[in-house]
Structure 1
Amino acid sequence: MRTVSSYGVEIRKQNIPIRQTMEIYRQAVGYLTEIYAQVWEELRKMPSYLRRSAIQHALGSVSSYETRLGKWKETGVLSGRPKLTCRNHAMPVFYRDVMYREGAEGKDEAYLKLYDGHDWKWFRVYLKRTDVLYETG
């Protein structure tokens, strides 16, 4: 298992824009903290790695929408305005070992960690042979 750690260091007087970086970062953390506090009851049911995946998906959706909206405004077209879709095609990421495990050798199966309404449990799923071959490389 690989361990990742971090620690703080003092940055001595250098001519870099660290204060502005910290300010914009802390401002973003403040916005997100307020939002997450409002929906914590729903979010706390999820493992942390799945929450991070959901956050990244939401950021990607907003970024894509804003890009498409900007391009739409540039063209001056009156129809076909982009829409921000909040849930349509969102799929969880099944991270290996914590959300996804391979099945028994030679079997077309895998195990997914899924929420059954009460708890997170491992469930066996059957896969197409071609998908198993793709996964095992």
Structure 2
Amino acid sequence: MLNRLPRHTRQVIAYAFSGVMAAVAHYGLLIGLVELGRADPVAASLAGFVLGGVVSYVLNRWLTFEATRSHGEASWRFSLIAFGGFLLTGVLMHLFVKVAGLPYLPMQVVTTLIVMVFTFAGHKFFSFADREGA
């Protein structure tokens, strides 16, 4: 059924699915560390980002981008974009939670949306080869 949809539409659906699964991993670890482990929300957010990044890599390589690069080449490229997302997450969460004093969970949602745009573009045009160009 999905194969009948335009390629870009399939890619967006797969990216959204992968993102939901990565977010479940990220937010699960974040909330568990903060609420059960009494961890700092910024540090917990970054730990969740790493776990979500692993889930995201596996699912996006397999489902979203139909990678033609080798795993070795795609993984270092993915890691570079993910590191940018990691830094952006840390900066945004620090500003929202530590500087502005806003609640960590709603600010994680805002941060996730911002970082999602950055990482999608980076992974589409840098991490994974795109078989049909665009």
Q: TM-score range by the shorter chain?
A: 0.3 to 0.5
**More strand by percentage:** 1
Larger radius of gyration: 1
Q: How high is the TM-score relative to the length of structure 2?
A: 0.33
Give the structure, 1 or 2, with the largest relative contact order (CA under 8 Å, sep 6 or more): 2
Task: State the TM-score, normalizing by the size of structure 1.
Answer: 0.33
Higher helix share: 2
